[in-house]
């Protein structure tokens, strides 16, 4: 009986336009907030997800900028290397060791003659993108394994070979070419045989195993102390703005193509922050409108409610009824917003899948947690508003 009376009173006192305005504001605010959270989840998934990890983009070769101030002084000091290793956005630093002796390479085939002065570099194996059983060397080895950049082969096939009317070469053909490497030490020339065992997109240099480089530098090197001018870093996010800022501040440079996403990352972060801030402001306004809606609804029939309290209706009964009257609509709005975000996420995952970018088809758990937190805030606002007004009416009645 009491519920029927309250339902009739509250229904008559409720303003439909105020409720629609509050519901619309809350819906837009939820879509903005949950959309911003899911956008950040998607961005992290694209950057750090296993299916989206780009092993090439996560390794950067770094050296000092060569200008009038650093000309002839591009060596990285021990302190600079230690500072690099201590940065939170760098997971590993590999030193590139250059050869400290003069060498040249020539063909041993009359069908493919060539000769070139060369230099070798080496780097710890964990920084190399070629895994090959032939990538090992000791003093009993029959040849020196080499890894050359894919870029070198492209330059030859599409530049040098075309201009000199020479045949183009495939990777397999290059791997089968026997190469004679001549190491000059004073007036003596020591020859080795070498073979290309792989092609790299990561390091633009002719790489040999670290074991050969250490042995050869010790045996044929100039004797000057080893100094590092270039390093390879492993990072989880090559487009991290903090990494770009660090390189710029320390006059270091790398392949700009791999860090170009830093600008896009800043744009995405800005859009996410603006969307989130706008959503929070709209949520605050929506909460205010909902609070006013509850207050006005109760105030419009306060005399009847006070009368019910006077004839014996308990405040706890009024509180439970009013919570059931107002809070379920909040649950429906939050659920509807979550469904809309889920549908958009499903569509976005399918759209990006066609472009070889993998995203989960469902919303991430941070988005669900954000929705539950907002629902908790709405419950607290509803509860405090209703308790406050029932308390006021109860005092008036007493």
Sequence length of the chain is 398
pLDDT band with cut points at 50, 70 and 90 for residue 31: confident
The pLDDT of residue 9 is 58
Q: What is the pLDDT of residue 107?
A: 82
Confidence (pLDDT) at 147: 92
Quickly state the pLDDT bin for 18 (edges 50, 70, 90).
low
pLDDT above 80 (res 11): no
Given a cut of 90, whether residue 209 has pLDDT beyond it is yes
- The residue that leads in pLDDT, 230 or 277, is 230
- The residues that bridge with 63 in the sheet, in sequence order, are 230, 253
Stronger pLDDT, 198 or 202, i.e. the higher one = 198
In this predicted model, which residue has the larger pLDDT, 338 or 113? 338
> Mean pLDDT across the stretch 351-366?
82
Residue 344 or 272, more confident: 344
Residue 105: which of 137, 146, 134 has the closest Cα? 146
**Which residues contact residue 204 at a Cβ distance below 8 angstroms, ignoring those fewer than 6 apart?**
61, 149, 151
Q: What pLDDT is recorded for position 197?
A: 92
| 188 φ, ψ (degrees, to nearest 5) | -100, 145
Letter string b/e over residues 236-256, b meaning 16 or more CB atoms within 10 A of that residue's CB: ebbbbbebbebbeeeebbbbe
Candidate from 65-69, 277-281, 291-295, 358-362 with smallest mean pLDDT: 291-295
Antiparallel, parallel or unpaired: β 115-118 and 188-200: unpaired
Which tens digit of pLDDT belongs to each residue from 146-157? 999 888 888 888
Is residue 56 predicted with pLDDT exceeding 50? no
340 or 111, greater pLDDT = 340
The mean per-residue pLDDT over the stretch 184-211 comes to 87
Compute φ and ψ for 217, nearest 5 degrees: -65, -40
Distances (CA, A) of 61 to 147, 155, 200: 16, 20, 13
Q: Quick check: 178 pLDDT over 80?
A: yes
> What is residue 144's predicted lDDT score, i.e. its pLDDT?
92
Reported pTM:
0.57
Q: For the purposes of burial, counting CB atoms within 10 Å of the CB of 125, is it exposed (0-12), middle (13-18) or buried (19 or more)?
A: middle
CA distances from 328 to 334, 372, 384 (A): 10, 14, 16
Residue 61 phi, psi (nearest 5)? -90, 125
Q: Determine the straight-line distance between the first and last CA of the chain, rounded to whole angstroms.
A: 23
Task: List, for residues 251-282, the tens digit of each pLDDT value.
Answer: 888 876 666 665 666 677 777 777 777 777 77
Using DSSP's 3-state secondary structure scheme, residue 238 falls into coil
Considering only CA atoms, which of 334, 336, 318 is closest in space to residue 394?
Answer: 318
Candidate ranges 47-51, 217-221, 339-343, 379-383; pick with highest mean pLDDT: 339-343
Average pLDDT, the chain: 80
Which residues is 182 bridged to in the sheet? 104, 191
pLDDT on residue 299? 67
Query: Average pLDDT, stretch 93-119?
Result: 84
Place of tokens 């060596």: 75
What is the pLDDT at residue 55? 46
Give 55 or 127, the one with higher predicted confidence: 127
Strands 230-234 and 59-64: antiparallel
Assigned token pair, 273: 């922050």
List 184's β-bridge partners, or say none.
102, 189
Q: Would you state the pLDDT for residue 339?
A: 93
């Amino acid at each position: 009986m009491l519920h029927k009376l309250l339902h009739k009173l509250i229904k008559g006192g409720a303003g439909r336009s105020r409720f629609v305005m509050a519901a619309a504001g809350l819906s837009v605010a939820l879509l903005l907030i949950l959309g911003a959270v899911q956008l950040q989840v998607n961005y992290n998934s694209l950057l750090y997800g296993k299916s989206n990890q780009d092993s090439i983009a996560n390794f950067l070769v770094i050296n000092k900028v060569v200008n009038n101030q650093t000309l002839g002084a591009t060596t990285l000091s021990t302190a600079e290397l230690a500072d690099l290793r201590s940065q939170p956005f760098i997971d590993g630093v590999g030193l590139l060791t250059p050869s400290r002796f003069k060498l040249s390479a020539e063909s041993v085939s009359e069908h493919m003659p060539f000769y070139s002065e060369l230099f070798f570099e080496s780097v710890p194996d964990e920084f190399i993108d070629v895994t090959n059983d032939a990538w090992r060397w000791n003093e009993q080895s029959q040849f020196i394994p080499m890894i050359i950049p894919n870029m070198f082969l492209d330059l030859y096939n599409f530049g040098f070979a075309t201009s000199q009317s020479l045949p183009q070469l495939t990777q397999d053909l290059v791997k089968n070419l026997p190469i004679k490497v001549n190491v000059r030490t004073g007036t003596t020339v020591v020859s080795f045989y070498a073979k290309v065992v792989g092609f790299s997109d990561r390091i633009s240099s002719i790489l040999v195993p670290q074991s050969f480089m250490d042995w050869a530098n010790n045996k044929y090197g100039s004797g000057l102390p080893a100094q590092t001018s270039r390093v390879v870093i492993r990072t989880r996010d090559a487009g991290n703005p903090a990494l770009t800022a660090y390189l710029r501040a320390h006059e270091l440079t790398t392949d700009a193509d791999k860090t170009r996403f830093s600008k896009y990352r800043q744009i995405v972060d800005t859009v996410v922050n603006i969307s989130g801030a706008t959503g929070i402001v709209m949520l605050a306004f929506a909460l205010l409108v909902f609070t006013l809606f509850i207050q006005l609804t109760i105030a419009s029939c306060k005399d009847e409610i006070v009368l019910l309290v006077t004839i014996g209706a308990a405040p706890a009964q009024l509180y439970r009824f009013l919570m059931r009257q107002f809070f379920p609509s909040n649950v429906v709005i939050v659920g509807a917003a979550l469904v809309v975000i889920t549908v958009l996420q499903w569509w976005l995952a399918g759209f990006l899948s066609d472009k070889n970018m993998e995203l989960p088809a469902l919303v991430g758990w941070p988005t669900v947690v954000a929705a539950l937190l907002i629902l908790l805030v709405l419950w607290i606002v509803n509860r405090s508003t209703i308790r406050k007004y029932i308390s006021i009416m109860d005092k008036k009645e007493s």
